[in-house]
Amino acid sequence: MKDIITLAVESSCDETAVAVLKNGREILSNVINTQIELHKKFGGVVPEVASRKHIENIDAVLEEALTEANITLNDIDHIAVTYGPGLAGALLVGLSHAKALAFTLNKPLVGVNHIEGHVSANYIEHKDLKPPFITLIVSGGHTHLVEVKDYGEYEILGRTRDDASGEAFDKIARAMGLGYPGGPIIDRLAKQGNKNAIDFPRAFLDDGYDFSFSGLKSSALNYLNAKKMKNEEIVVEDVCASFQEAAVDVLSKKAIKAAKEKGYDIIALAGGVASNSALREKITELGKENNIDIKYPPLILCTDNAAMIGCAGYYNFINGRIHDMSLNAVPNLKI
């Protein structure tokens, strides 16, 4: 059978990324131009700045991805592109570029849901992984517990009722002046802290599958404010470790509970927070106790990249789910 080559474009937030994949799961190139340094001084992503930077970057990123994969545009079988969820202006840069390429090259255009992309990063790393399984999607914008019934077929079991998990990490880090994005910094500092130092609340919400991080966030912020008011020393490492432990505890236990109750023996982690070392450790430990296999992508495929979009796009493509030139950006696209 002839190989299928996917060209994938991702620009939903602050990474301009282009990847080339062979048969959906083999990466030929995966170029990521991150704007983190640019947004750092604002403490978060500034949408207008992100869009402008995507426009500046995208041609060079595309060129590099083609060169690294050692292919030309003519070798491509289809184009996959993120069309939501994300920042409208940022999405439009990648989408317009992908549409222009699809039109001029006369190749099929496949719109990809960014969240589905995060889940698909697992297929690239775990060549034998196929649905059905449970996935815990934890990113800066999303926290979902989902049954993956088939490629492109999902049933949401639970979601966050307020902040996304990554958002909570970022906000607590910001309150301590640690910088952006906060997740990796908290992860690193927590390694030197005591996770039992502060008893932060865990929201199990009547034991259902939904999540809530606003109580934990407020509790951590109140703790920091109280310490400042009293002029007491804040042991940043302990706050990081205790906060992280509370977040990871709920995420891990709920995912294990879902797998057990729904009869699955695989949980795949997805999204930026899936790179968290404490989450990986805790859920793997619980998985062992419950005979549930825990999978996660390598760090580079956890945070935003185009390879994961290419993988999801490949399955859309071979299953006939393609789009036409009327495809528009959908900033609040749901899985």
For binding to ligand KG4 (CB under 6 A), which residues are involved?
13, 118, 139-141, 166, 169-170, 181-184, 187, 271-273, 275-276, 303-304
Question: Hey, CA dihedral for 304, 307, 308, 313, is it positive or negative?
Answer: positive
In the complex, least distance from residue 230 CB atom to Zn ion, rounded to whole angstroms: 39
Q: Of ligand KG4, Zn ion, none, which one sits near residue 181, judging by CB under 5 to 8 A according to partner kind?
A: ligand KG4
Tell whether residue 272 is among the known ligand binding residues.
Answer: no
Please, what is the minimum distance in Å from the beta carbon of residue 261 to ligand KG4? 26
CA 113 to chain centre: 11
4 Cβ neighbours under 8 A, 6+ residues apart? 22, 23, 24, 77, 78, 314, 317, 318
Q: How many residues bind Zn ion (CB under 5 A)?
A: 2
Contact 123, 152 (CB under 8 A): no
For the bound state, the minimum distance from the C-beta of residue 13 to ligand KG4, rounded and expressed in Å, comes to 6
Residue 334: phi and psi, rounded to 5, are: -100, 160
Rank residues 252 and 275 by Cβ distance to ligand KG4 and give the closer one.
275
Say how far residue 66 (Cα) sits from the centre of its chain: 24
Of residues 289-318, which lie at the interface with Zn ion (CB under 5 A)? 304
Instruction: Tell me whether residue 5 or residue 119 sits nearer to Zn ion (CB atom).
Output: 119
Instruction: Strands of the chain (E only): list them.
Output: 5-10, 15-22, 26-34, 78-84, 109-113, 133-138, 143-150, 153-159, 266-270, 293-295
Residue 139 known to bind ligand: yes
Q: Is 138 annotated in some ligand binding site?
A: yes
Q: Confirm or deny that 166 is annotated as ligand binding.
A: no
Burial profile 272-298: b = 16 or more Cβ within 10 angstroms, e = fewer: bbbbbebbbebbbebbeeeebbbbbbe
Cα–Cα dist 56/50, whole Å: 10
C-beta of 92 vs 241, nearer to Zn ion:
92
CA distance 209 to 333: 21
Query: Under rule CB under 5 A, which residues in 113-152 are in contact with Zn ion?
Result: 139
Q: Quick one: what does residue 182 bind among ligand KG4, Zn ion, none, with the CB cut-off 5 to 8 Å set by partner type?
A: ligand KG4
Q: Which residues pair with 158 in a beta bridge?
A: 145
Beta carbon nearer to Zn ion, 104 or 332: 332
Q: Which is nearer to Zn ion, 11 or 244 (CB)?
A: 11
What CA–CA distance (Å, rounded) separates 195 from 215? 18
Site for Zn ion in 42-101 (CB under 5 A): none
**Shortest distance (Å) from residue 45 CB to ligand KG4:** 9
Q: Which residue has the tokens 């088939």?
A: 150
Q: Is 118 annotated as a binding residue?
A: yes
Whether residue 180 contacts residue 43, with contact meaning beta carbons closer than 8 Å, is answered with yes
The answer to whether 120 is annotated as binding is no
C-beta of 97 vs 171, nearer to ligand KG4: 171
| 14 near Zn ion (CB under 5 A) | no
Which residues define the annotated binding site for Fe cation? 114, 118, 304
Residues of this chain that interact with Zn ion (CB under 5 A) are: 139, 304
Which residues define the annotated binding site? 114, 118, 137-141, 170, 183, 187, 276, 304
Which residues define the annotated binding site for substrate? 137-141, 170, 183, 187, 276
